[in-house]
Amino acid sequence: MGGHARELTAAALAALIFFDVAGTPAGIEDAIVAAGPLYCLIGLIVFPLVWSVPEALICAELGTMFPEDAGFVAWVAAAFGTRAGYVEGTLSYLSGVTDNAIYPVFIVQYIRTLTTALDDGVAYHCTLAAVIVALTILNYLGLKIVGVLSVGLLVFSLAPFVVMVFAGIPKMDFHRISEQSPGFDHIDWSLFLNTLFWNLNYFDSVSTLAAEVVQPVARTFSRALAAGVAIIVIMYFVVVAAATSIRYNGYGSKWDALFSCTTSSKSAHVIALQPLKTALEHHSGYPPP
């Protein structure tokens, strides 16, 4: 812990929590497939209360008690001994390596949807290598710049959804939410609960930054976790409510018009950002009528 500079503010830590847990609204669509919009919205209220908020409170308390970068590894070691702590650290490392390996590929795949230049194998792999090198250099530059960029990236990531939700207000009909929902006995509980868990879990990941947050640790951690939970839950709820209540008027197939809106009162033109459409499109047969 020493006397090294603590550079992560509550805002930066909240942004890192956002990307550790969610990143964007993409990923919640399987919950809509499994249970329909109405029960998905109910789940987005209930599940955070019974899981996300308690998990965040535990992380805030333990992060304050163990203000070190070992994070949850230190928690396990303190409770069950150093051998258990070693196993936890090893498994966490393997999980992190496996999980983080996919994100450069995701970035290049998103870029690929915007241009055909990456259809060539050499260009694709060179771009992938460049992304990996850029992300590696960014991490070497230190947590301060990572935190600042995370805040900016959070705003950048959510801005299209905010704009499109507000722009889609004239086309919303909230009766559609109940109309599109199946009966209670037709819910795919396994898919529904697993999707909610996947998208509203992992707040403990920021415990490995406990030695980097500005003093007082307790206040910074508590504020960051509270902000992180609030941003994530509100994001999912608003996006699902907006997406499933928009009247589509026959445009395109399935979710082509997701987050779409009329550009003016005189225009029937519907806009839909292709990357968002691609990311949020259903693949399991639950299109809007």
- Residue 20 CA to residue 206 CA, distance in Å, equals 8
Range 187-208 average pLDDT: 90
Distance CA 207, CA 2 (A): 17
- CA distances from residue 17 to 39, 49, 57, 147, 150 in whole angstroms, order as listed: 26, 17, 14, 11, 10
As a whole-number percent, the residues of the chain with pLDDT over 70 amount to 83
pLDDT of residue 281: 43
Q: What is the pLDDT of residues 3-12, one digit of tens each?
A: 566 778 889 9
Could you tell me which of 100, 65, 70, 108 has the C-alpha nearest to residue 86?
A: 70
| Residue 73 near residue 92, CB atoms below 8 Å | yes
Distance, CA of 254 to CA of 283 (rounded, Å): 9
Q: Mean per-residue pLDDT for 167-196? A: 83
pTM of the model: 0.78
